[in-house]
Amino acid sequence: MTALITTETRERVRIIRINRPDKKNALTAAMYESLIDAFCEAESDAGVRALLIAGSEHAFSAGNDIADFLEHPPLDDTAPVMRLLRLLTELRKPMVAAVCGPAVGIGTTLLLHCDLVACGEQTTFAVPFVNLGLCAEGGSSLLLAQRVGAARANEWLLLGEPFTANVAASAGLVNVVLPNAEVFDHALGWAIKLAAKPPQALRGTRELIRQASQDAARRTIAAEAELFKQLLQSDEAKEAFAAFVEKRKPDFSRF
């Protein structure tokens, strides 16, 4: 059986890859557990100096696997996705992302915890939580506004509509847009450069850049999680997910 989360190390860079291309790298609870393990192992390995998170050439992540999400809803803080989101704020090693294809939901919000992001020309992003009767997660209600400004954050989080790689780059969500075939190597090159830097100076500089937002991000993630759990059990979310499964447009007019 092929591992859905794979890891390898090159030149002191731990490459963590989402490997479910037939489902556009949609994430399950078990995959979140594997990501937690992969990040923790990389953090504790003294031979690893930088992290690189990637998907496939045609999909970064389509977000949650809806069937698995409905079967294992994250209704408490021990849910794998909730633990992963908290863990992202604790990582001390620099992280680069290589993003191609769809990056939906956590496929976008995870990038807010990365230091450098390279994406492909055909990449599309979306944070459609409201469309599903839910709220933002991963600290994105704070971090997205800090990264791209309140106007863009409002547009993306409230409307929940997809946006392109060029829009993401112009707003500051990603650093560079490249042909898909060049994205991974470019991101790996960044990660290798980071891994060769003096680690104490790099870590200290990274923490200085983040210090104003990290404590607030942790509080925001906790607040988002509480509201997310409430909304997940709401009639609005039930209608949204029923419509998704039934392949119809949801009707929120009665709420």
In a domain, 89, yes or no: yes
In a domain, 186, yes or no: no
The Cβ of residue 222 has, within 10 Å, a number of other Cβ atoms equal to 14
In a domain, 100, yes or no: yes
In a domain, 229, yes or no: yes
Mean pLDDT of the chain, nearest integer = 97
Q: Which residues contact 106 (CB under 8 A, 6 or more apart)?
A: 27, 61, 63, 64, 81, 85, 137, 138
Q: Which pair of tokens denotes residue 47?
A: 């031979």
In a domain, 188, yes or no: no
In a domain, 24, yes or no: yes
Phi, psi (5° rounding) for residue 51? Answer: -120, 145
State pTM to two decimals.
0.96
pLDDT tens-digit series, residues 10-34: 999 999 999 999 999 999 999 999 9
Q: What is the pLDDT of residue 57?
A: 86
Q: What is the mean pLDDT of residues 75-84?
A: 96
Q: What is the mean pLDDT of residues 238-243?
A: 97
Q: What is the pLDDT of residue 50?
A: 99
pLDDT at 2 exceeding the cut of 90:
no
Q: How far apart are the C-alpha atoms of 245 and 235, rounded to whole Å?
A: 15
Q: Which residues contact 56 (CB under 8 A, 6 or more apart)?
A: 17, 18, 19, 21, 25, 100, 101
Place of tokens 């409201």: 130
Q: In whole angstroms, what separates CA 126 from the centre of its chain? A: 11
Q: Alpha-carbon dihedral of residues 203, 187, 89, 79, nearest 10 degrees?
A: -150
Helix 80-88, helix 29-44: angle, nearest 10: 30
Instruction: Give me the CATH number covering residue 153.
Output: 3.90.226.10
Q: Are 163 and 124 in contact (CB under 8 A)?
A: yes
**What pairs with residue 6 in β-bridges?**
17
Q: What is the pLDDT of residue 248?
A: 96
pLDDT at 162 exceeding the cut of 80:
yes
In a domain, 97, yes or no: yes
Q: Which residues contact 87 (CB under 8 A, 6 or more apart)?
A: 36, 39, 40
Q: Which residues contact 134 (CB under 8 A, 6 or more apart)?
A: 228, 231, 232, 237, 240
Range of the domain at 246: 1-180+194-255
Q: How many domains does the chain have?
A: 1
In a domain, 111, yes or no: yes
Q: What is the mean pLDDT of residues 116-134?
A: 98
Q: What is the pLDDT of residue 1?
A: 55
Q: How far apart are the C-alpha atoms of 210 and 113, rounded to whole Å?
A: 10
Q: Which residues contact 47 (CB under 8 A, 6 or more apart)?
A: 9, 12
Which segments within the chain are labelled E, that is strand?
A: 5-10, 13-18, 50-54, 95-99, 102-104, 116-120, 124-126, 163-164, 176-178
